[in-house]
Amino acid sequence: MDNREFLLRRLHSLLGIIPIGLFLTQHLIVNHFATQGVEAFNNASHFMANLPFVIFLEIFVIYLPIMYHAFYGVYIAFTSKNNPGHYSYLRNLLFVAQRYTGVFLVVFIAWHVFETRFQVAIGNAAEADFNMMANILDNPWMLAFYIVGVLTATFHLSNGLWSFLVTWGITQSEKAQRYSTYFTLLVFLVLSVIGIRALLAFV
């Protein structure tokens, strides 16, 4: 098809927000139960892990969209020729950061899934519970890795939300795009606070 690239790029933009962005938000909010104690987190985690048809939810809402977004995203990242040195405008710096955080997130998410969900799947752990995360985050290097992981994820989502609004023609004028920069900055701050608070609750 002639406009294949157009459709693939639009799909990439859409999947980043729906469902991946929604999933990330939900994930960080559920994690936030950790601030209310071990039992609150375990109940929430147990509820999520035992949703009806959970494997289909995981496949169609998480695994497939995220894999498409990751692989096509890496292709996009490596076809750009970044030039933040001479053209150090805010949007260009964010453009470069979007690509670096994206590539980092492929590594972080792969490691995170391997350490948690995959261990449950192969029977090394009964459930991804509070203790599992507390053990992982006991290591200060791991804690740092996770903090960076959460911040890159919230940044990538917020900045991706900004370009989603442009890509679908929702924010058009300079003013609309400036206001959506403020809005997505707020999204970044709120999600980051939620994510970091949850991480620190495991320590």
Partner 1 sequence: MGEAAKTVIFEIERRDSTEKESYFEKFELPYRPNMNVISALMEIRRNPVNMEGKKTTPVNWDMNCLEEVCGACSMIINGKARQSCTALVDQLEQPIRLQPMKTFPVVRDLVVDRSRMFDSLKKVKAWVPIDGTHDLGEGPRMPERKRQWAYELSKCMTCGVCLEACPNVNDKSDFIGAAPLSQVRLMNAHPTGAMNRDERLNAIMGEGGLASCGNSQNCVESCPKGIPLTTSIAALNRETTVQMFRNFFGSDHAV
| Long-range Cβ pairs for the range 4-9 (8 Å, 24+) | 8/72, 9/76, 9/167
82: left (phi over 0), alpha (psi -120 to 50) or beta: beta
Hey, what are 68's tokens?
């498409």
Of the candidate residues 45, 158, 171, 192, the single one contacting partner 1 (CB under 8 A):
171
Kindly state the tokens that stand for 18. Answer: 């729906």
Total binding residues toward partner 1, as defined by CB under 8 A: 36
Of the residues 92, 116, 119, 131, which one makes contact with partner 1 according to CB under 8 A: 92
DSSP conformation class of 170: S
Out of 135, 172, 179, 193, the only residue in the binding site for partner 1 (CB under 8 A) is: 172
Site for partner 1 contains 60 (CB under 8 A) = no
Single out the segment in contact with partner 1 by CB under 8 A; choices: 34-42, 45-53, 71-79, 108-116.
71-79
- CB of 131 or CB of 167, closer to partner 1: 167
Q: How far is the CB of 103 from partner 1 (least distance, A)?
A: 14
Does the protein bind partner 1 through residue 131 (CB under 8 A)? no
Q: Name the residue with tokens 């999600």.
A: 191
- Please check whether residue 24 is in contact with residue 105, taking contact to mean a CB–CB distance below 8 angstroms: no
Q: Does 9 bind partner 1 (CB under 8 A)?
A: yes
115 by Cβ neighbours in 10 Å (0-12 / 13-18 / 19+) ranks as middle
Kindly state whether residue 179 participates in binding partner 1, applying the rule CB under 8 A: no
Q: Which residues are at the interface with partner 1 (CB under 8 A)?
A: 2-10, 76, 78-83, 85-87, 89, 91-92, 95-96, 162-163, 166-174, 177
